[in-house]
Structure formats: C-alpha cells, structure tokens
Amino acid sequence: MTERGVKASLPRTFRALAHRNFRLFFTGQGLSLIGTWLQQVAMGWLTYRLTNSAWLLGVVAFCANVGILLFSNVAGVLADRIDRRRGLLVTQSLMLTQAIVLAVLVAFGWIQTWHLVVLALWLGTCAAFDTPLRQSMYVHFIADRGDLANAIALNSMLVTRRASWGPRSRGCCWLSRAKPRALRSTRCPSSPSSSPSRRWTGRRTSGPH
C-alpha cells in the first residue's frame, strides 16, 4: 500500500503514521520509553529492598534526573551540530549497555547501593542527550509538512502515556514473582528503537537547519 493509501485508511488523529519513517521511529521510541520507565521503577524498588532507606531511594531518583538538569542545554546545542541518526544510535547503545550491566550485577548478586547511584547517573546523562536528538528528528520523517503538528502531538501523547505503561508493566512482573528475569529485560525494548533508525532513508540530519 502506498503512503497515500495508508494515510487515507488512517483516522485523522493518526495521519502522521502514514509516513513510513515516522511510523518506524514512533514504534521504536514507544518501546524504548516504556523500557526506560520499567528500569527506573525497578531501580527504585531494588534500592529500597537493599537499604530500606527512603533517603537513599531519593538519592537514586535524584541521580536519575540530575543529568537532564545539568546537560539539557548542552545537549540541545550538540543536537544541532552532529549527525542525529548516529547520535541516537550512540545514546541508545549506551543506555542498553547500562541495562546489561545492571542485569549482570543483579543476576550474580553483586549489586550494591553505589552501583545503583552510578547507574542512575549513567542513565540520566544518556537521557539528557537522547531527548533533544529525538525531538529534532520529526521534521526529517514527515514529507507533508501539514502532518508535522500531528506527529508532534502523537509524540507528546507517547511521552505522557509511558509514565503509566512502564510502572504497570513492572507491577505485572512483580506479581509474577519473576523479579530477576524482569530486571534483565528492562532495556530489551531499547533495541528496536535503534533498529528502525538503521533503516532511515531521509535526507541528511547533521548540522543546524
């Protein structure tokens, strides 16, 4: 089915999904965002289980977000000066590596509180650079500029919904009593967000526009 045919078959609310590149990116980003929230909830639960300390739980939560506070402005400037596709592959790969390290530490029983603090800082710093790279890509995925506002709205919906989908999924894992397995799978959704990016065929995305 052609892009025009896909667009005609979609409700007006989802018309931006008729664009193949945006559809791939939207799917991968949704999985990745849910994975990030799964991981944040898991790290909070693990911190409290290890320490029984509300203060240390707050420290880990702070470390997971302080990178965004410190580096967002720098990341926004950098996003205008580098190849954004490659930048997203780097940030997603680093976030996936962080999750693998967390899974290995938990699986072998080596995890300690300071590990969680460092891993939270790692995740937050990667997220600070990942977010502006994502947000600057939409213009390159939408051939019809009339659909750009719809693409931005769909992304906003996705970012808002992930805050409920991620914790709910984590809760299902706890109820299944498969906690170690769940921790190992927290960033599995990250991989598809890099996969679609390998198939991008849009015009060059480096440099300011």
* Domain membership flag for residue 46: yes
**pLDDT(187) > 90:** no
Residue 208 lies in a domain: no
Token pair recorded at residue 146:
């009339």
What single-letter DSSP state applies at residue 186?
T
- Looking at mean pLDDT, say which of 53-62, 130-139, 158-167, 188-197 comes out highest: 53-62
What is the chain's Cα-based Rg? 18
* 153 alpha carbon, distance to own chain's centre: 17
| Count of domains for the chain | 1
User: Which stretch of DSSP H or E encloses residue 139?
Assistant: helix 138-141
Residue 55 — very low, low, confident or very high, per pLDDT cuts 50/70/90? very high
- Domain range for 184: 33-194
Percent of the chain having pLDDT more than 70? 70
Q: Give the pair of three-digit tokens for residue 139.
A: 């213009």
For residue 112, tell me if it sits in a domain.
yes
Please give the structure tokens belonging to residue 79.
Answer: 């996003």
**Residue 85 falls inside a structural domain:** yes
Task: Please report the pLDDT score of residue 155 as a whole number.
Answer: 78
Q: What is the pLDDT of residues 61-75, one digit of tens each?
A: 999 889 888 998 898
Give the pLDDT confidence of 94-108 residue by residue, as tens digits.
Answer: 988 998 999 899 899
Name the average pLDDT for the chain: 75
Residue 21 resides in a domain? no
Helix-then-strand count for the chain, H and E: 9, 0
Q: What integer is the mean pLDDT of 76-83?
A: 87
5 assigned to some structural domain:
no
What predicted TM-score, i.e. pTM, was given to this entire model? Answer: 0.71
Q: Which residues contact 72 (CB under 8 A, 6 or more apart)?
A: 128, 131, 132
Is 107 in contact with 184 (CB distance < 8 Å)?
Answer: yes
Asked if residue 203 belongs to a domain, the reply is no
Residue 107 included in any domain: yes
Distance of alpha carbon 19 from alpha carbon 2, whole angstroms:
10
CB neighbours of residue 66 within 10 Å: 15
Helix (H, G, I), strand (E, B) or coil at 185: coil
Phi-psi domain of 208 (left: phi exceeds 0; alpha: psi -120 through 50; beta: other): beta
